[in-house]
Amino acid sequence: MCALYTRARKRRQQVIRNRTVITASSFLAMFFIGVGTAIIGAASRNIGISPYHIGLLIAMQNIGFVFSVVTFGTLADRSEKTRLMLLASLVMSFSFFFFYFKDIFALNLFIMLVIGIGIGGYEGVADAMLLQVQDKKQGLYITVNHFFVTFGELMITTYLIFLQMNWRRGMVQSAAAVLALAVVFALSKTGAQSSNEKHTFSSLLSFFTRRSVLVLFILTICAVGIELSIVGVLTTFLMELRGFTQVTSKLGLVVLLAGLGLGRLTLGFITKKQYITVLITCFFGSVTLFSSLLFFVVSGDFITYVFIFFTGVVVSVIFPFILTIAGLKYPRASGTVLGIVKLGVPGGGILIPLLISILSRYSSFEVSLAILPITGACGFFIILANRKELRLQ
């Protein structure tokens, strides 16, 4: 009996260690997603890339992402997820190392495609892997997972500021770190049985046409579009319409990112899964309120910073909670469904900023900012109309 108890205890300890390693590795993978998505903006001036070429590079990255996220997500439902993360890590390490290794634009356009494939691989598998190894507080793990994307964006931007013209060193170091992460995934297993269901193209279409999946896809477009647009326009808004300086406007961006990070850590921790749908509804409504206050109520600098902070907090958990709902509603096909829902990431990152750009050109910048609270209101009414389909038990 004593020997059986000892073996059972060792097995439990091994399971706990394995879960801890896989969870920490997923967080690091998301950190490098942040590095991959921010690298163009962080290094473009050092490299000397023109705005025209920046647009092409980002577009190519999104093409790679769209192709990869559904492919990896579908494979995640019938393959060992750590092996897929190993493959994505090798792709990311290769692309980081060769990013602007030579100043040949066609070559670097291909490298950006590969970076997009690596990012899509991580995105398609990481959340599904966490849902598989963690049976409690899934909302917390998903929100913390996506906190590390923001953390990666901040760290690579700050690091490259200090490196200046030696920015290539940062990319080589990132490539080495991702390669080390690949070794960790090579030595790890989720320890749980993956679904053996095979998803053909027709079955993928059947998932996409399910009302709940389609609604989650549209909500992702709204959530991601709001988040990326606010990050993109905030400093310009503060300088042009509120009279902030270069320094104080950048401080506003730091306050926004702090709100995003704090919201993902705290709200994910305290939220129970049965309340996630209700909270997303409230947060979409709160986004409408706080973004309206921020962009259309003239106030002092301190109050503006308060509006910025709370806008970041309420935006922070909407996308991770959408992913949590998708994974928990379709546990046997979580990779496939998450991959489909995450197609809304490039959709939101393109559609909402494009609408702001068009309105600012043909009307005014201030009028164009109304797109953000309107998008929040659209998300609020969409989820309110479909709350029964999205409710978690």
Task: Tell me the pLDDT tens digit for each residue of 262-295.
Answer: 888 887 777 777 788 888 999 999 999 999 999 9
Contact 327, 338 (CB under 8 A): yes
CB 232 within 8 Å of CB 40: no
Q: Is the domain of 233 the same as that of 168? A: no
Residues comprising the chain, all counted: 393
Q: Does 374 reside within a domain? A: yes
Q: What is the pLDDT of residue 6?
A: 63
Q: Do 143 and 246 fall within a single domain?
A: no
Q: Is the pLDDT of residue 5 over 60?
A: no
Residues 254 and 326 in one domain: yes
Does residue 6 fall inside a structural domain? no
The pLDDT-based confidence of 201 (bands split at 50, 70, 90) is very low
Same domain, yes or no, for 236 and 323? yes
pLDDT score at 211: 87
Report whether pLDDT(46) > 70. Answer: no
Closest alpha carbon to 317 in 308, 327, 325? 325
196 is a domain residue: no
Count of helices and strands (H, E) across the chain: 17, 0
Instruction: Tell me, yes or no, whether 254 and 377 share the same domain.
Output: yes
Domain boundary among 161, 188, 215: 188
Q: Is the pLDDT of residue 202 over 60?
A: no
Give me the CATH number covering residue 131. 1.20.1250.20
Q: Are 40 and 162 in contact (CB under 8 A)?
A: no
Number of structural domains, the chain?
A: 2
pTM of the model: 0.77
Are residues 365 and 234 both part of a single domain?
yes
**Does 149 share its domain with 20?**
yes
Please provide the average confidence, as pLDDT, over all residues in the chain. Answer: 82
| Stretch among 23-27, 120-124, 198-202 having the lowest mean pLDDT | 198-202
Domain end position, chosen among 162, 188, 214: 188
When pLDDT is averaged across residues 205-214 and rounded to a whole number, the result is 77
Specify which of 125-129, 140-144, 278-282, 325-329 reaches the highest per-range mean pLDDT.
Answer: 278-282
Residue 325, in any domain of the structure: yes
Measured CA angle at 215 (ends 80, 147), to 5 deg: 55
Both 178 and 310 in one domain: the answer is: no
Query: Is residue 117 a part of any domain in this protein?
Result: yes
Give domain status of residue 193, yes or no.
no
Report the percentage of the chain scoring pLDDT > 70.
85
- Residue span of the structural domain in which 266 resides: 204-390
Residue 111 contacts residue 92 (beta carbons within 8 Å): no
